[in-house]
Structure 1
Amino acid sequence: MSVRAFLFVTLLGFFAAPQALAALTAESVMILDEGLQQPSAVAVAEDGRAFVLDGLKRRIQVFDAEGKRVDELALPTGPMPATDIAWAKGLLYVADPSAQRILVLNPRGKLLKELRPRPDEQPVEPSSVLVLGNRLWWSDRRGHRLCRGRVDGKQPVHCQGGRGETPGRFRYPYMLAADASGYVLAVDVLNARVQIQAPGGKHYGSLGRFGMLPGELFRPNGIVVLRDGGILVSDAWTGHLTLFQGRKAQALLLHDDGRPWRFSMPVGMALWQDRLYVVDLLANRVEVLRLKENPGLDAALPEAKSGRDSRKNCLQCHPSWSEDYQPEENALVLPVADKRMCLSCHHGAVMESRPLMARGHQHPTLHDQREGKPAGDTARLEDDEVPRDFPLEKEGRLGCSSCHTPHAPPREARENGRRNPWLRKPNRDSSLCLACHASKHTAAEERNRQDLKGLNHPLGVMMKKPVGSDTQGYARRKELQQGLPDALERAGARLGDRGQLICQSCHQVHGAKGKALLVMENDQGALCISCHRSQNAK
């Protein structure tokens, strides 16, 4: 049997009884990794050029068919990384959800058009894009729906879906693909399934079910339709690629020796000739595989259990609660506290946090190394103590979940003064920071005390005009009575609710510049000089 016959499935095959299959295997052809930092998607042109959407750099890295990097295309400025890329009729289409647009570029990276669809006059966040003839399909991350319109961006735009778990509704639609008949397949990330839409937009069915066993989907992300109809779906948490035929999971993609292929965090995929391009976001690379059939391997999956676990929405972050959970060797924490769990949603599929989670310096946790050992050792807080409200991991070390929790409803969080709704406690005026670092707090009104040694920069200095000429605790220079200098604000610094200096006026917990966790470089005193120019010897 040829590979073509092995993969053959018609549209009716979605509903037909599956036939016995030999194993689908793959061998590594090459790895594309030059210049990549947390890529999310890849598109391949007819001549084999691979356009890889690089996450943190907001660039497209271009590789030829032999794997040599031949170009680097800068995307227009945007607040966050773009998430998906498509190639059609000699043009590149880039989903840029944080900027609420779809970019149309030529192969050299020149911006030809900027599409800003506004169905129902509502803001949108296109997180994936697909071109079918003269139609443009895209996933709306914000509205939990699938939209389609003309490829030139002209109205009308039709959308269907909405947030929900019933057929036809989505919880964060993401990567898209289409079969030869024009049926669109949309990955439904948190519903752990793939939904099928007819060419006219009508809901047509779904495939996949939530779970952790081989053949089940936990955090589906990428999707590709093989030449004769087989469907491969990547799972960002399990790292596996699952082959579907007849609307049923048939096998995992295997090595020649029968081991399942497992990636660090597979996201987008693309097919060119007999090659499969798999974007491995956490490994900062694209793995290029050659697909083939291996009739000598047993591709059978375990018998699926009947029924569904009613705790699905809990298990999506707490897989260790499931009887099917298999602990990872040498795991430092439970999966719910693993930064991979956070990133499996926060790489743009559900929320975009890559610039903060994966760039610059981070507050020490056991996920980082210090002097060859896991960091986040709370015993190093000689003059302070971590409150019992902040749970610690092994050996009293801080983890992501020490400060963060998903169990703070956003509305309740905002009402309690949390700008970031996923914190365990409000951080109004740096109160969360000071709960652990109380000894570093020197109030503005204490700065003239002679008995204090080794003072930190005082907090609470009011960066506005004082109410009287002899009022204490206010900035003295007039330009500082207008707020923070522009350089600090551009770097992400902010003031407290009353316009006073707080920890975040100089520090940044995630994505900081240097080990001191500063909002900007200070090797030459640039941060200090931005406020204290009169003290600068130059």
Structure 2
Amino acid sequence: MSQPDLRHSPATLRREMLRREMLRRTGLIAAAAVGAAATGCVPASGHGRTELVWGRRGQSAGRFLKPRAITIDRNDQLYIVDTTGRIQVFDRDGNWLREWKTPETKNGRPTGLAIQHRRAPEDDLLLVADTHYYRMLVYTLDGSRVQEKEIGGQAGRDPGQFAFVTDAVSDRDGCYYIGEYGDSDRIQKFDPDGNFITQWGGTGREIEKFVRPQSLVIAGDTLWIADACNHRIQRYDISGSQPRWIDAWGRQGEQPGQFHYPYDLALLGDGGVLVCEYGNQRIQRLAADGTPQAIWGAPGFEIGQLYQPWGLVVDSKQRMHVLDSNNHRIQRTRLPV
């Protein structure tokens, strides 16, 4: 899947100049910091609310090559997939637990992960947006593939076919919602057995259309969609047989409440949301009514700075774990207030 072409914008050129200057002057200061321990974990004291930074570039256990998606289970275990196609699992302190690899990676790697909560926690499943293979993969949390629950596998625009799959989530009834980008910027809904129910969206700038619906999150009867290349969030009521549009938040920009390629969302207990912005290289916190409350992060390579982040999750201790993708690491911090 292609990324937004930011290479030639003035802001990106300034950031690239900053990156090269920092590398020249510091000799990869960020990599040196996070590589201090064998696990890649170091405390980040003295850097605001950032508590922990872990991971560094590499392909061995506990290292990453541009991690692209993250999710968290009921036990605060983190599941992270990178551009090697590996799904690595860590505890909330960054200790490596286990890993496995998606079945095919030649065409591209997954860009979406979500936990499907089932009746018993030990039966929970991991949903994987296998982007370039036009399907949703399903695994047990220990990495066993559950092929009978997979959906898709064929490129196309018909129901049950997909363009590039961006994310897959399930509601409390076990129905699946799968987003896609490319020929069909839409959401498809399937019943618990994988049978097609309905679809909506389509490529466009107007309300109820999408351009790369990158992240899907469900809370109760509301589906939140990070409409990435439209630089906004759209919400739908999914309580009925057909989705009902609720509202849209944001527009392109750098001010609070504006977005530049929102790639991921994390919902909070107070009804608010955290937004991970790939383009603005920051995390925004918005209240339940959409009012901007706080911003964390800025472009860069030091602790508390981000380089094209792709995702985030919040653990049971109300700490966010940010996928600092092009810095090949995770940063853990208290929620911005």
CA contact (8 A) 2:270 2:288 kept: no
1:183 and 2:240 correspond:
no
Q: Name the counterpart of 1:95.
A: 129
1:108 and 2:142 correspond:
yes
CA contact (8 A) 2:287 2:293 kept: no
Q: Name the counterpart of 1:276.
A: 320
Mapping 1:67-466, distance limit 5 Å: 67-78=94-105, 79-89=107-117, 90-113=124-147, 114-116=150-152, 119-120=158-159, 122-133=161-172, 134-142=174-182, 143-153=184-194, 155-179=195-219, 181-199=220-238, 200=240, 201-254=243-296, 262-273=305-316, 274-291=318-335, 293=337
CA contact (8 A) 1:48 1:64 kept: yes
Q: Which has the higher contact order (CA 8 A, sep 6+)?
A: 2
Q: Name the counterpart of 1:38.
A: 66
> What's the offset of the Cα at 1:121?
6.0
> What's the offset of the Cα at 1:39?
0.6
Q: Supply the AA of the counterpart residue of 2:152.
A: R
**TM-score normalised by the chain length of structure 1:** 0.46
Gaps of 5+ in 1: 1-24, 294-538
> What's the offset of the Cα at 1:277?
1.6
> What's the offset of the Cα at 1:292?
6.4
CA contact (8 A) 1:171 1:191 kept: yes
Q: Which has the higher strand share?
A: 2
> What's the offset of the Cα at 1:262?
4.1
Q: Distance in 2 between matches of 1:59 and 1:176?
A: 22
Which of 25-34 and 37-46 deviates more?
25-34
Q: Name the counterpart of 1:408.
A: none
> What's the offset of the Cα at 1:162?
0.5
Secondary structure at the aligned position of 2:274 is classed as: strand
> What's the offset of the Cα at 1:93?
0.6
Q: Distance in 1 between matches of 2:73 and 2:125?
A: 9
> What's the offset of the Cα at 1:71?
1.0
Q: Deviations over 1:17-62 (max 9, x none)?
A: xxxxxxxx972232331221101111111112111112x2101111
CA contact (8 A) 2:271 2:288 kept: no
**TM-score normalised by the chain length of structure 2:** 0.72
Q: Which has the higher helix share?
A: 1
CA contact (8 A) 1:85 1:94 kept: yes
Distance 1:161 1:117, change over 3 A: farther
Q: Distance in 1 between matches of 2:48 and 2:224?
A: 23
Q: Distance in 2 between matches of 1:141 and 1:64?
A: 31
Distance 1:208 1:115, change over 3 A: same
1:47 and 2:75 correspond:
yes
Q: Distance in 2 between matches of 1:228 and 1:59?
A: 34
Identity of aligned residues (%): 23
Q: Name the counterpart of 1:495.
A: none
Q: Deviations over 1:54-92 (max 9, x none)?
A: 2x2101111123321011111111320110111123211
CA contact (8 A) 1:40 1:280 kept: no
Q: Name the counterpart of 1:399.
A: none
> What's the offset of the Cα at 1:109?
1.4
Instruction: State the aligned residue count.
Output: 262
